[in-house]
Amino acid sequence: MWPTAYQAAPFRLLQTCQQVLSLLRPLVEDQDLFLQLEWAPDLSPIRQGDQQKISQVLINLISNAIKFSSEGSMRLKVVPLE
């Protein structure tokens, strides 16, 4: 598989996170887990970056968390770096 170029553009990070969680929610529910999104109130929902690559990273991270969790909850916490 050939690496793809980085495509930086403004995108809605909050919406992207919500879409990823919606996509993975059936896997979470099948294992009786709980998945939530925590969004920093002072963080703008529009960010600059490669939405497709960020979505894929989130899917991979959360999928691994689901795979290696047998109970409890997971939180995707989005906060600005200081």
d(Cα 61, Cα 37) in Å, to the nearest integer? 14
**pTM for this prediction:** 0.86
- pLDDT means per 10 residues, the chain with 82 residues, are 78 97 92 93 94 96 92 92 78
Residue ranges and CATH numbers for the domains of the chain are 10-78 (3.30.565.10)
Residue type, 53: K
Q: What pLDDT is attached to residue 35?
A: 93
Burial annotation 41-80 (CB, 10 A radius, 16+ → b, else e): eeeeeebeebbeebbeebeeebeebbeeeeeeebebebee
In this predicted structure, what is the pLDDT of residue 61? 96
Query: Helix %, strand %, coil % for the chain, to 5?
Result: 45, 25, 35
